[in-house]
């Protein structure tokens, strides 16, 4: 339990916050520069309602929603069509498509607006971010701005009831004649993502059709459903965000335990987040259900690390970095149990729907009752960003229960530079990173001329990230290395404990602690990798440092172009008359940079490589991003899938050779006998290599929750030549007792963990000290001629560590033809 045992109520906390509110509003520096709001094109703004006839899906009697008595997916569109026809308060649209092809519905509920009024709302919304001081003193905005609430429902497909609560609220507000509802809709906009995961809703699965947990994807954005959530959060600019889940009994609702994300203006969050949570708890009690008489609020009720809001990958933690007051709401009763009667399933789902309805209505009431303060504080987040002020040192007792264990803060640099030209590790990686920053709500500029900053020279076209910007916390959370929090907390809800796209996505990012470059800057709205091709014909070299480079190599090989792997893992391509247009097309498509091949080069010819993978969806999709042809392999299907055209086996999950059937064992032995290569990930890969007598190593795994950014030393070779000096780990593995012929290409540094969490256990046998200076990536050629590469880092984790994907691709090329 937390150190405080105070049982808080909303009334007690509101009184306690009276003084705190004054403390959080320092005088604004009048010299703070402002940026004019982005121009609003009249042609882009239409009146409300914005109604559409939604396509109706065929009846599906196998929909997993049906047995628990909630709304089947195929009934959502007819319901929304009916409500739009009945009310000018409801606007619905198909806002995207799920991974499995279902429509994604975004719904806005508000009082009707003329086109002029809708345009004014958009101008006020932008003013809050662009000119926060002016916005929060603008009498028109303070009187007329419709404060937004965003509800994200059913992100986990088999947690259904958020959708039904959303539909229930929409239906009530669509036609209610209650004057109170009328006033609410005149002062607020309610935006609903009706079912964030229709694939899982229909199938009864947590993940979407592609197999991903969407609530781990907000800063990777690998899935179309996540892209829509991000767009809705950024466009809505919600005061409160609700992410509706199940099932934790009693009802769980944020605020969370520490560790807290170090980039948030947490004082401005917790002063509202806690009292609204307490109000939700009171209103849940008023439902009268025995199961709703108390709630679990982790900040109040749990020990540090039990249910934290540290990584920005979740909807609520991402929304907080967008200056929203976010909540996960976990409804209490699981209706999925196989031993439940039909009546009990329906009873449970009905109570869960009640719980989510209470969360929506209570949060809307909180916005209404505290309108001036929540608007002021949302603008204050942006103001602090523009001003470049340090994060507040929040005093103990700021809210009841706040103590030193909650105080997580970072120090913001003045700016970042993402170089262009020779100082950049990978131009495609830099463009990808810039795209992520911008599409996540950050602001990026480009230098119009060469410049010098903090002792380094930079080319014109280099990206500059001025951290004096409204969403600096979001930007810095993606770019900064992070911190080693091992000594601060003994547990985490889940990893990763550090992420740092600035270090793990493969781009060079320089931190300028005290300087904004003195050069003319132009704001940009996407990243650009122009690529390069030498002006004259001749042999070419391509250094493989990004997935884009591997895509090009695999594309050229499939087109019949002769490609050779050089000793350092790069590739050379002999000059062929008439091929220049082909290379130009690849440069335009992928932004890669070809160089002149070194004189007298010699290399190993590469053929098209087919990879059989024994792993999960991350391995499947990483291989696709690298452009390899793939075959899914399991222990039970080796005889059918490990066919003669498979060149390399990627082993990312356990394969017990002793339990294989005779046909499957024969297929594996035939693959190895013909010289098939093996690339292994973690202990599963090492165990397979040992069991198949391909090499001899001892693999040691760190604690299961150990994760973050590791310091590594690259020793060169076909896999790691030119690689970045950092890696991503999720349960790190290291290799010792290396047998004959095993070469270390990469090792953990003397201080292995740069940022994240890596606790020691077992007298230090799998802690950071045990891994120091030990091998993290090795390769060998077996006595039978098989190329083998083992990774102790994690190049496929949720498609996140983009900067490691090229290492995996290079390992596959080498293992296929060592």
DSSP character string of 370-411: THHHHHHHHHHHHHHHHHTPPPP-PPTTSSTT--GGG-----
pLDDT digits (tens, 9 = 90+) for 173-231: 999 999 999 999 999 999 999 999 999 999 999 999 999 999 999 999 999 999 999 99
The pLDDT of residue 22 is above 50: no
Handedness of CA 152, 158, 162, 166 (dihedral sign): positive
On the 0-12 / 13-18 / 19+ scale of CB atoms within 10 A, 7 is: exposed
Asked whether the predicted pLDDT for residue 16 surpasses 90, the reply is no
Per-residue pLDDT of 722-770, as tens digits, reads: 999 999 999 999 999 999 999 999 999 999 999 999 987 654 688 999 9
C-alpha–C-alpha distance, residues 94 and 390, integer Å: 41
What is the rounded average pLDDT of the residues 517-539? Answer: 95
Residues 6+ apart with CB under 8 A from 418: 424, 430, 433, 434, 462, 463, 464, 465, 507, 508, 509, 510
pLDDT at 765: 81
Is there a contact between 252 and 307 (Cβ–Cβ < 8 Å)? yes
Tell me, what's the pLDDT at 32? 33
Question: Which is more confident, 331 or 422?
Answer: 331
What is the per-residue pLDDT across 416-448, written as a single tens digit (0 to 9) for each?
Answer: 999 999 999 999 999 999 999 999 999 999 999
Give percent above pLDDT 70 in the chain: 94
* pLDDT at residue 527, rounded to an integer: 96
Q: Please state at what angle helix 266-286 crosses helix 10-23, rounded to 10 degrees.
A: 170
Contact (CB, 8 A) for 266 and 395: no
Q: Where are the beta strands (DSSP E) in 499-628?
A: 510-512, 521-524, 540-542, 563-565, 571-573, 595-596, 604-606, 610-614
Yes or no: say if 475 and 289 are a contact pair by the CB < 8 Å rule: no
- Cα torsion for 614, 654, 745, 800, to the nearest 10°? 60
Residue 30 is predicted with a pLDDT of: 28
Q: Looking at residues 326-354, what average pLDDT do you find? A: 96
> 421, 459 in Cβ contact below 8 A?
yes
Name the strand (E) or helix (H) holding 580.
helix 580-590
User: What pLDDT does residue 19 have?
Assistant: 38
Query: How far, in Å, CA of 729 to CA of 792, rounded?
Result: 8
Q: Which pLDDT band holds residue 337 (cuts at 50, 70, 90)? A: confident
- Supply the pLDDT for residue 42: 57
Q: How confident is the model at residue 4 (pLDDT cuts 50, 70, 90)?
A: very low
**Band of pLDDT at residue 688, cut at 50, 70 and 90:** very high
Mean per-residue pLDDT, 768-788: 97
Of 324, 360, 311, residue with least CA distance to 194: 360
Among 283, 319, 278, 325, smallest CA distance to 297 is for: 278
Residue 27, SS3 per DSSP: coil
- Token pair listed for 811: 């390992």
CA–CA distance, 554 with 586 (Å, rounded to integer): 11
Rounded Cα distance between 352 and 246, Å, is 8
Yes or no: say if 797 and 681 are a contact pair by the CB < 8 Å rule. Answer: no
- pLDDT tens, position by position, 38-65: 455 656 899 999 999 999 999 999 999 9
Tell me the C-alpha to C-alpha distance, in Å, between residue 447 and each of 43, 186, 418, 524: 32, 45, 10, 10
Closest CA to 706 of 489, 505, 486: 486
Average per-residue pLDDT in the chain? Answer: 94
- pLDDT at residue 1 greater than cutoff 50: no
Weakest mean pLDDT among 15-19, 31-35, 112-116 = 31-35
Contact 780, 752 (CB under 8 A): no
- Taking residue 686's Cβ as centre, other Cβ atoms within 10 Å add up to 27
Percent of the chain at pLDDT exceeding 90: 92
Question: Please, what is the end-to-end C-alpha distance for the chain in angstroms?
Answer: 56
Categorize the per-residue pLDDT at 322 as very low, low, confident or very high, splitting at 50, 70 and 90. very high
Report the phi/psi class of residue 705: left, alpha or beta, with left for phi > 0 and alpha for psi in -120 to 50: alpha
Judged against a pLDDT cut of 60, whether residue 26 lies above it is answered with no
Q: How confident is the model at residue 578 (pLDDT cuts 50, 70, 90)?
A: confident
Q: Residue 335's pLDDT is what?
A: 97
- Specify the pTM: 0.95
The predicted structure's pLDDT at residue 9: 44
> Would you state the structure tokens that stand for residue 178, as one six-digit string?
């209650």
Q: What is the pLDDT of residue 816?
A: 97
For the segment 520-547, the average pLDDT, to the nearest whole number, is: 95
pLDDT for residue 266: 98
pLDDT in tens, 592-625: 999 999 999 999 999 999 999 999 999 999 999 9
Give the whole-angstrom CA distance, residue 67 versus residue 72. 10
- More confident call, 290 vs 7: 290
pLDDT of residue 31: 32
For residue 159, pLDDT over 60 is answered with: yes
The H-or-E segment that residue 447 falls in is strand 444-447
């Amino acid at each position: 339990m937390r150190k405080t045992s105070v049982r808080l109520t909303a009334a007690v906390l509101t009184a306690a916050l009276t003084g705190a509110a004054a403390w959080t509003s320092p005088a604004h520096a009048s010299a703070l520069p402002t940026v004019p709001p982005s121009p609003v094109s009249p042609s882009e703004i239409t009146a409300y309602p914005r109604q559409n006839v939604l396509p109706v899906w065929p009846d599906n009697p196998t929909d997993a929603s049906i047995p628990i008595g909630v709304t089947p997916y195929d009934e959502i569109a007819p319901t929304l069509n009916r409500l739009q026809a009945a009310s000018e308060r409801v606007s619905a649209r198909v806002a995207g498509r799920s991974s499995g092809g279902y429509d994604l519905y975004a719904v806005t509920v508000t009082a009707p607006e003329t086109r002029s009024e809708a345009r004014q709302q958009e101008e006020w919304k932008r003013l809050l971010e662009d000119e926060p001081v002016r916005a929060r003193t603008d009498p028109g905005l303070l009187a007329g701005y419709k404060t937004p609430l965003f509800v994200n429902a059913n992100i986990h497909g088999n947690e259904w009831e958020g959708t039904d609560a959303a539909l229930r609220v929409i239906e009530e507000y669509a036609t209610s004649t209650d004057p109170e509802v009328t006033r609410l809709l005149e002062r607020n906009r309610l935006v609903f993502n009706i079912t964030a995961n229709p694939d899982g809703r229909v199938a009864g699965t947590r993940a979407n059709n592609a197999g991903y947990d969407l609530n781990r994807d907000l800063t990777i954005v690998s899935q179309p459903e996540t892209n829509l959530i991000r767009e809705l959060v950024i466009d809505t600019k919600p005061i409160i965000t609700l992410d509706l889940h199940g099932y934790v009994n009693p009802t769980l609702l944020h605020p969370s335990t520490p560790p807290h994300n170090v980039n948030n203006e947490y004082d401005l969050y917790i002063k509202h987040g806690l009292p609204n949570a307490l109000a939700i708890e009171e209103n849940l009690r008023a439902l009268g259900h025995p199961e709703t008489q108390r709630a679990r609020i982790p900040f109040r009720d749990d020990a540090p690390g039990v249910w934290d809001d540290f990584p920005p990958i979740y909807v609520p933690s991402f929304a907080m970095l967008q200056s929203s007051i976010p909540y996960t709401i976990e409804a209490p009763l699981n209706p999925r149990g196989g031993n439940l009667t039909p009546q009990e399933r329906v009873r449970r789902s009905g109570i869960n729907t009640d719980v989510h309805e209470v969360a929506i209505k209570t949060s809307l009431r909180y916005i209404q009752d505290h309108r001036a303060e929540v608007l002021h504080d949302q603008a204050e987040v942006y103001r602090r960003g523009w001003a470049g002020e340090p994060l507040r040192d929040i005093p103990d007792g700021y809210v009841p229960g706040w103590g030193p264990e909650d105080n997580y803060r970072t120090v913001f640099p003045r700016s970042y530079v993402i170089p262009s030209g020779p100082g950049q590790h990978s131009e495609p990686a830099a463009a990808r990173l810039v795209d992520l920053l911008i599409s996540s709500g950050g602001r990026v500029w480009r230098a119009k001329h060469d410049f010098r900053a903090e002792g380094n020279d930079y080319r014109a076209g280099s990206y500059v990230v001025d951290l004096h910007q409204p969403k600096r916390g979001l930007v810095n959370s993606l770019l900064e290395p992070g911190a080693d929090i091992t000594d601060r907390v003994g547990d985490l809800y889940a990893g990763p404990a550090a992420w740092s796209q600035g270090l793990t996505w493969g781009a060079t990012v320089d931190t300028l602690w005290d300087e904004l470059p003195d050069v003319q800057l132009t704001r940009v709205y996407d990243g650009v990798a122009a690529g390069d091709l030498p002006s004259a014909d001749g042999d070419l070299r391509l250094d493989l440092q990004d997935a884009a480079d591997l895509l090009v190599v695999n594309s050229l090989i499939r087109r019949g172009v002769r490609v050779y792997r050089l000793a350092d893992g790069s590739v050379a391509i002999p000059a062929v008359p008439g091929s220049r247009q082909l290379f130009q097309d690849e440069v335009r498509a992928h932004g890669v940079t070809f160089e002149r091949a070194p004189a007298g080069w010699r290399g190993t010819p590469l053929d098209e490589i087919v990879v059989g993978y024994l792993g999960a969806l991350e391995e499947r999709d990483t291989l696709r991003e690298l452009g390899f042809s793939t075959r899914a392999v399991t222990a039970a299907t080796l005889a059918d899938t490990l066919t003669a055209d498979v060149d390399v086996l990627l082993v990312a999950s356990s394969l017990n050779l002793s339990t294989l059937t005779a046909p499957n064992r024969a297929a594996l032995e035939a693959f190895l006998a013909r010289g098939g290569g093996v690339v292994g990930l973690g202990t599963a890969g090492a165990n397979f290599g040992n069991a198949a007598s391909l090499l001899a190593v001892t693999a040691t795994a760190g604690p299961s929750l150990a994760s973050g950014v590791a310091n590594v030393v690259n020793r060169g070779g076909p896999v790691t030549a030119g690689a970045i000096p950092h890696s991503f780990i999720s349960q790190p593995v290291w290799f010792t007792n290396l047998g004959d012929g095993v070469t270390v290409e990469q090792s953990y540094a003397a201080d292995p963990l740069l940022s994240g969490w890596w606790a020691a256990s077992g007298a230090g046998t799998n802690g950071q000290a045990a891994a120091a200076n030990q091998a993290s990536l090795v390769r060998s050629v077996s006595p039978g001629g098989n190329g083998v590469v083992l990774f102790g880092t994690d190049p496929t984790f949720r498609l996140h560590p983009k900067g490691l994907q090229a290492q995996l691709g290079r390992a596959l090329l080498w293992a296929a033809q060592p």
